[in-house]
Amino acid sequence: MEVAGLPRKVHITRTTLACLNGDYEVEEGHGHKRNSFLKAHNIETFFIVPSHQRKILPGLILSDIKAAKSMKFKTVCYLLVQLMQCRKMFKAEILFSNDMTCEDDDKTPKGTCAKSVKIAIDTGYRHIDGAYIYQNEHEVGEAIREKIAEGKVQREDIFYCGKLWATKHDPEMVRPTLEKTLSVLQLDYVDLYIIEIPMAFKPGDEIYPKDENGKWLYHKSNLCATWEALEACKDAGLVKSLGVSNFNRRQLELILNKPGLKHKPVSNQVECHPYFTQPKLLKFCQQRDIVIIAYSPLGTSRNPTWVNISSPPLLKDELLNALGKKYKKTAAQIVLRFNIQRGVVVIPKSFNPERIKENFQIFDFSLTEEEMKDIEALNKNVRFVEMLMWCDHPEYPFHDEY
C-alpha cells in the first residue's frame, strides 16, 4: 500500500460533537492508542474525549478533510467517527481506501430499488429522480412499467428525471447517452434531463476515471456545446425539459447568456435544507423561472467520501423537533414542509417503506410565517455534500459564493 502524501496529523474538531452538548477536551494521542497503520507512518493523532468519560473511552480520531484538500494523496486515510448516543457511548470506526470511490460500501440488494419505486408510486409520488451512475435505472423502469400495466398510473403521470454524467459532456456523446438511458428504462422519453455536475472527466465508459497513480482524469469541456447537444435531444422528442445540477450562478449565466439559446434550464438540482438554505441562489433562480430541486433535503448519510462528516446532524435540531411535536410530525416532515412552502422541490431518498410513506405526509399542515422565519434563521451555510475530492477541478462549483 503506497502512503506517499499522507498527512502528519489527524484530529477531530469540537464541532463534530457539539450536538451532544458535552464538555470536551483535546489531548495528544499516546502511542498505544493509535491505530497500527498510523503508528507505522508516524502520524500523530489528537483525541477529543468527553471529560466525564475520559477514563472509559479510547478516544475519537478523524482525518482532517481540509488538510486532505491541500494534499495529493496516493492513499487516503479516513477515520470515520460514528456518534453512538446509546448508553452515552461512542464508537470509532476506521476505514482505509486506496482511492476516493463514490460508491457505497453497502450494496443495495437486487430488487430493492424496484420495490421502493412501486411503493412510492402507490403512495402517491410521481416525480422520480434517477441517474446513469446509480446503476439501477433498469429497476426504476421496471417499476414504472409495472404500475402503468396495472392501471395505477399512465406514463404522462410520471415525471422522470435522468442525468448526464461528467464523462459524457462531449456533444457527440450526449444523445447516445440519453438513448442508452431510454433503452434501459424502456421508455420513449424522459421528462427532465440534467447535467449532473458542471465538471467534466475524461470521456468514456469509466464512471470515475483515474490514471495509474490514482489521480483524477479531468477533461476540458464546453458547457455551451454540451447544452446545444441537449437542446437537439429536446427537439427530437427524447426529453421534455432540460436542467442542470450543482451549477453556481456563474455557470448558470454561462448557459442563460449563450448566443442562440433555444431552451433554457428549467431547474437546478442542488443541496438545500434548513442548515443550507441557499437564499442567494434561490432568489437568482426564482427571478429567472428556474426551479430549485433540493437533493439531501434531510441532511445526508455520513459517507466521508462525499460528505463533511464534522457537520451537525440536521434532524437532531431542537427547533425542528419542537415544531414536529407541535404538529405531531417528525423533524424530517417539518424540514420537507419548510422547503415546499418556499417553492423548493424536494427529492428525499429512502428504501424504507415506512419512511417513503412518512415523507409524503406533509400536505395536511402548514408552517406559520413566523415558523418559516425561525427555520430560515437556522441557516449555518453548512454544505454536507462538498465533493472535495474534485475541488481542484477548474469548474468546481463551490468555490464561488453561490
Instruction: Transcribe 246-287 into DSSP letters.
Output: S--HHHHHHHHT-TT--S---EEEEE-BTTB--HHHHHHHHH
245: left (phi over 0), alpha (psi -120 to 50) or beta: beta
What secondary structure letter does DSSP report for 306?
T
Q: pTM score, two decimals? A: 0.74
How far apart CA 135 and CA 120 sit, in angstroms, is: 19
Q: Which residues are catalytic?
A: 134
Q: How far is CA 102 from the centre of its chain?
A: 11
Residue with more model confidence, 73 or 323: 323
Please write the tens of the pLDDT for every residue from 111-126.
999 999 999 999 999 9
Strand bridging mode 127-129 / 91-97: unpaired
Q: Indicate if the pLDDT at residue 47 is higher than 70.
A: no
Q: Indicate if the pLDDT at residue 68 is higher than 90.
A: no
How does residue 303 score in pLDDT terms, banded at 50, 70 and 90? low
Please write the tens of the pLDDT for every residue from 335-370.
999 999 999 999 999 999 999 999 999 999 999 999
How does residue 13 score in pLDDT terms, banded at 50, 70 and 90? very low
- Residue 245 parent element (H or E): strand 239-245
Average pLDDT score, the chain:
79
How does residue 313 score in pLDDT terms, banded at 50, 70 and 90? confident
How does residue 221 score in pLDDT terms, banded at 50, 70 and 90? confident
The C-alpha cell that represents 197 in the structure block: 455536475
Please write the tens of the pLDDT for every residue from 224-256.
999 999 999 999 999 999 999 999 999 999 999
Please write the tens of the pLDDT for every residue from 378-394.
999 989 898 999 999 99
